[in-house]
Amino acid sequence: MNFKNPDISVLNNKKLYIFDMDGTIYLGNQVFPYAIRFIKNLRKSGRRVLFFTNNASHSPSFYLEKLTRLGFEPTAEEIMTSGDVTAEFLLRHRAGQSVYLVGTDDLVNNFRERGINLLTGKEERADIVITSFDTTLTYEKLDNACRLIRGGSEYLSTHPDFNCPTETGFIPDSGAIAAFVTASTGKVPTYFGKPYRETVEMICEATGCTKDEMCIFGDRLYTDIAIGKRHGVTAVLVLSGETQPADVEAAAEADKPDFIFDSLDNVDLAMFS
């Protein structure tokens, strides 16, 4: 692959280091030990860390427990999901509207705890339908979502990822579920999470950092890298997850990452050796 990284000082001068989770710092329950080392080195040097995942099938408290168990020593303030961004949008811009949510119990409970007006799906109409990465998906949920959207509901989705990486390969993610609904209804959802502007705005607001003070590490061109390239955040691709070198070569110049490393191990060595 014909790609040359800029000077490492670009990364050294950042204040906030944002990490995708699946495929970047771990794969399923298989932790990348070098990711723990790199993040510990960042903290020791006075830099800040944020874990952001598009995977909204679990709550922030689930990720707090998982990251703690895997050895990353996170705080609750260091964790954010696409579900959080979507819920915040509803509270700010769709307050009080009725929502039919296709998601896991974790996501449903997360929305309910925030006071969002959730429906059962049996109703004749809903103001909004939201689909997400739902490992408890049923045909009934899909049918309810499509019927309500045909009836005039606004259609949103927590994130656009087509596949979720696991230790045994990829499984269908939120974007694949949305593609089913779009094929049936003709409606394309408004997406949240990476690579969308609302996510960058929420990170800026939550951390007090500006976009040029941040960098993001991830394994996907169309989410992790795209959010950086579209919104002025330095984007670092690691080849430990979904993206392969051939994918980078096939990408348009404007969509290519600012840095490419085989893994966070190489970033750690470049910054701290």
What amino acid is encoded at 71 in this protein? Answer: G
Using a pLDDT cut of 90, give the percent of the chain over it: 91
Distance of CA 14 to the CA centre of its chain: 21
CA nearest to 192, candidates 61, 90, 59: 90
According to the model, what pLDDT value does residue 166 have? 82
According to the model, what pLDDT value does residue 273 have? 85
Asked if pLDDT for residue 1 goes beyond 80, the answer is: no
d(CA 48, CA 102): 34
Q: Give residue 253's pLDDT band: very low, low, confident or very high (50, 70, 90).
A: confident
What does the mean pLDDT of the chain come to?
Answer: 95
According to the model, what pLDDT value does residue 29 have? 84
pTM (2 d.p.)? 0.89
Residue of higher predicted confidence among 254 and 213? 213
Q: Give residue 254's pLDDT band: very low, low, confident or very high (50, 70, 90).
A: confident
Q: What is the pLDDT of residues 113-147, one digit of tens each?
A: 999 999 999 999 999 999 999 999 999 999 999 99
Q: What is the pLDDT of residues 181-198, one digit of tens each?
A: 999 999 999 999 999 999
Looking at the DSSP bridge assignments, the partners of residue 190 are: 156
Asked if pLDDT for residue 156 goes beyond 90, the answer is: yes
Q: Give residue 169's pLDDT band: very low, low, confident or very high (50, 70, 90).
A: confident
According to the model, what pLDDT value does residue 190 have? 95
Contacts of 221 by beta carbon, 8 Å cutoff, 6+ apart: 237, 243, 247, 248, 251, 255, 257
Q: What is the pLDDT of residues 174-183, one digit of tens each?
A: 999 999 999 9
Q: Give residue 24's pLDDT band: very low, low, confident or very high (50, 70, 90).
A: very high
Phi-psi region of 93 (alpha: psi -120 to 50; beta: other; left: phi over 0): alpha
